[in-house]
Amino acid sequence: MGLLNLLVNDPVTFFLLAVPLLYSIIIHELAHGWVAFRMGDPTAKLAGRLTWNPLKHLDPIGTIMLFIFGFGWAKPVPVNFGYIEKTRKGLVLISSAGIVANFFLAFFSFAISRVLSPPPSSPAGQVIFYMAQINIILASFNLIPIPPLDGSKILMGVSSERFQNALSRLEPYGFFIIIGLLYTGVLDSVIKFFRFIILAIIRVLLP
């Protein structure tokens, strides 16, 4: 169900869900830009993308898709690998930064829930729950190795040049491939697998 339907049918849940979702996406993109900046690339900073202002990160089409279909995206943070001395290392670290950020947001959400123990039906309990689940889904989804998702960039950073070129040629069609695989449910098992791995790591760190 898209956010538009949720807004009409359950406005309270909409706001409790929309805020964690919005800032989870923003933090994901900020992480990409921050790591790139730390590695010597000022592109995101010069473009004004190292900011908490959601208007700088929202993609108009991605936002409309999110409201109508429940699937959307933010504007990718611009990265110029010409500034980065070790391209492969930069590709892996910058691409994985958003996933790592989502993982830690989920981890801290579980930790806060354990410490504070808010009632599940309370606004605080629901926000913490949504924050954890949204970030697990974002991390799991972005681990999928299909361009332009982060998982494909990480794979490119550790694979042969021939395989990198193959993934690069796939990128113009990646969006349509992902939509098709989501629609047919093919990616459900992949997302569930990554979700299982992430939850297993969190359980180890937070027994």
CA angle 103, 140, 94 (to 5 degrees): 65
Please state, in angstroms and rounded to a whole number, the distance separating the CA atoms of residues 25 and 162: 32
| DSSP conformation letters of 133-148 | HHHHHHHHHHTS-STT
The catalytic residues are 29
Q: 156 and 127 in contact (C-beta within 8 Å)?
A: no
Q: 92 and 47 in contact (C-beta within 8 Å)?
A: no
Expressed in angstroms, the distance from the first to the final Cα of the chain is 33
